[in-house]
Amino acid sequence: METRTILRVFVNKNDIRKITLPVKPQTIDSLLEQLEEKLGLPFKFSLQFEDPDFNNSLVNLTDIADLPDKPTLKIVSLVTTPTPSTADTEILSTDSGHPSSQVKRSAWPEPFEIPTFPVDVEYRLRQGNLQYMRDQKYLQVSGELKHEILEKLSETIYIFKAYPDKENFEDVAAALIKKHPCLTLPGSCKGWNGWYDSLRWKMGNYRSKLQRAGCLDVSINAGKRRGQQPQKSIKKSKRYEINFLPNFPEGEDETSMQSKRMEIVEEMKKRRPNAMLIAQNMNSTFALRRKELIEGEPAVNCTVERWPALFTESQVLAEFSRISGKNLQSEFFQEIDRFLQRFLDIFKAKGGDVGCKLKKILQQVDNNKSDTNGRRTAVLHGLPLLLGEDPTDFYNTCLDSDGEEGLSSISIGILTVIPEDCVSIPYSQHLDAASIALILEGKIVMDNLGNLPQAMCILFGLIYALNLEYPPLLKNTFDFIQRVLLSLGHKSLKPKIQSLKTLLLQ
């Protein structure tokens, strides 16, 4: 009789998981399929295992019979180009001859690396740098040379961001002067201020060219700065999404993608959907999904009908990776656990009304310090209080016998369902649960999430996937998760968030 299989899986150096398979796989393909579903990986991979015959050295897995009991496996990505993300998505222009027709979105580099310019430009810059080193004489930049430099820099910037911010432009301008000191502008306080201004102007001009070429992530905003709509409605990346609105991949159009979308819908109706087929189709229809969500801004219940697979844990994590280039689950829990004890110490030291509320939360975890999920839950309940916010309307509770009638007024939140026999424990402080559900626009969109930390992680990913705004009453909390825990956003933080970050690092 087949028995369950327990695996230790190295996804990457910061993500090592224990995976339990209910049935021992009989083939490598079956093992790959089950791991893809369990881990939510949006890319193709092969496996290596620690072979006891070779002192546990890693060996490629080519025969399922070679696996020892309780094996240690390593995920080996089959993505050919290493990038910060395992799910970078190609952004393709409708004009295949355009410089932006085949770029891969990736996270903004630190430090920014100045690209190699055309041969004649590189020659003139090399001569200019030599003269600067010898005579401290700056290069006289002609209009034609300046145009070549700015054009190449704009192309490179667009690889990372269509709408760079002030810090990004400063990074590029400073890096340009550092690599080519002959371009320093005399009389400029930092030496690169004039290049900063020119880059901002040139990037706007470059976006205009991309709009005419049909690049979706900029053409969607065409004309809005000329008074057709309020400027606040401009649709662009606001939370460091590196793949905000990609063009359709080469060889794909809306008709072909709609066909794959319908395959997903039909597959999700089955009792046991094909996880590999769903993952492949969700990956290839990413551009269509983003187009619908960003341009159309549909209601959540419409998205549930059109993209049911998007409301599964594995696909929320995969979508977040496609959008931001980060492994949400790994980084979210890694950073929470990094600061876990420090958070609890801050809770204990806090005074006043907030301190009283935090101490009530702490009472439930002080007696069981080995309960990691309980401690994570306590931190997530207390985090809004530290940031001056009230989580009452966000963290909701109900009995397992209650219906959904009282949820219609909740725009976004987490619902903890507790058993009848735990009714004596205050709902707002309850750390155990029969199940956890996510509420969007008054409806439960995902349930049976297991524990509140996992639910918070998935909800954060779902906000990115659906292009939703953060809940207004907990904006600081979600900003903290985004900017501090996941390092997505500007370096400058709001005072409350900066104060808490400083406390955590003490």
Give mean pLDDT, residues 154-164.
89
pLDDT for 426 beyond 60 = no
Cα dihedral across residues 344, 415, 466, 257: positive or negative: positive
**According to the model, what pLDDT value does residue 260 have?**
94
**According to the model, what pLDDT value does residue 208 have?**
85
Which one has a higher pLDDT value, 251 or 294?
294
Band of the pLDDT at 87, cuts 50, 70, 90?
Answer: very low
**According to the model, what pLDDT value does residue 178 have?**
93
**According to the model, what pLDDT value does residue 98 have?**
43
Q: What is the pLDDT of residues 393-414, one digit of tens each?
A: 899 888 766 666 668 888 999 9
Which one has a higher pLDDT value, 132 or 420?
132
463 touches 483 (CB < 8 A): no
Give mean pLDDT, residues 110-133.
91
Give mean pLDDT, residues 86-93.
36
Band of the pLDDT at 278, cuts 50, 70, 90?
Answer: very high
Band of the pLDDT at 368, cuts 50, 70, 90?
Answer: low
For the entire predicted model, the pTM comes to 0.70
Cα dihedral across residues 96, 98, 101, 102: positive or negative: positive
Q: In what order do the strands lie in the sheet with 395-399?
A: 395-399, 412-418, 435-440, 443-446
Instruction: Read off the amino acid at residue 288.
Output: L
Which one has a higher pLDDT value, 391 or 108?
391
**According to the model, what pLDDT value does residue 239 have?**
87
pLDDT for 92 beyond 60 = no
Smallest CA-to-CA distance from 71 within 130, 2, 10 is with 10
Token pair of 239 as six digits? 């939370």
Q: What is the DSSP string of 82-141?
A: --S-TT--EE--SSTTSTTTTEE--PPPSSPPPPPPPHHHHHHHHHHHHHHHHH------
Cα dihedral across residues 343, 349, 353, 356: positive or negative: positive
Token pair of 7 as six digits? 């695996």
Which one has a higher pLDDT value, 221 or 71?
71
Quick count: other Cβ atoms within 10 Å of Cβ 488?
20
Q: What is the pLDDT of residues 72-81, one digit of tens each?
A: 999 887 643 3
- Range name among 38-42, 174-178, 411-415, 457-461 with the lowest pLDDT average: 38-42
**According to the model, what pLDDT value does residue 399 have?**
74
pLDDT for 51 beyond 60 = yes
Band of the pLDDT at 501, cuts 50, 70, 90?
Answer: very high
**According to the model, what pLDDT value does residue 367 have?**
60
193 touches 185 (CB < 8 A): yes
Q: How far is CA 467 from the centre of its chain?
A: 12
Give mean pLDDT, residues 460-489.
94
Give mean pLDDT, residues 54-76.
87
- Range name among 117-126, 226-235, 279-288 with the lowest pLDDT average: 226-235
Q: What is the pLDDT of residues 160-215, one digit of tens each?
A: 888 888 889 999 999 999 999 999 988 777 888 899 999 999 998 888 888 877 78
Give mean pLDDT, residues 473-482.
95
Class of domain 5-77: alpha beta
3-state helix, strand, coil in the chain (%, to 5): 50, 10, 40
- Range name among 165-174, 341-350, 432-441, 456-465 with the lowest pLDDT average: 432-441
**According to the model, what pLDDT value does residue 252 have?**
84
DSSP β-bridge partners for residue 17: 9
* Mean of per-residue pLDDT scores for the chain: 83
- Domain positions in the chain are 5-77, 90-233, 254-311, 330-504
Band of the pLDDT at 103, cuts 50, 70, 90?
Answer: very low
Q: Which whole-number Å values give the CA distances from 313 to 9, 17, 268, 383, in the listed order?
A: 19, 16, 14, 24
- Range name among 28-37, 297-306, 314-323, 349-358 with the lowest pLDDT average: 28-37
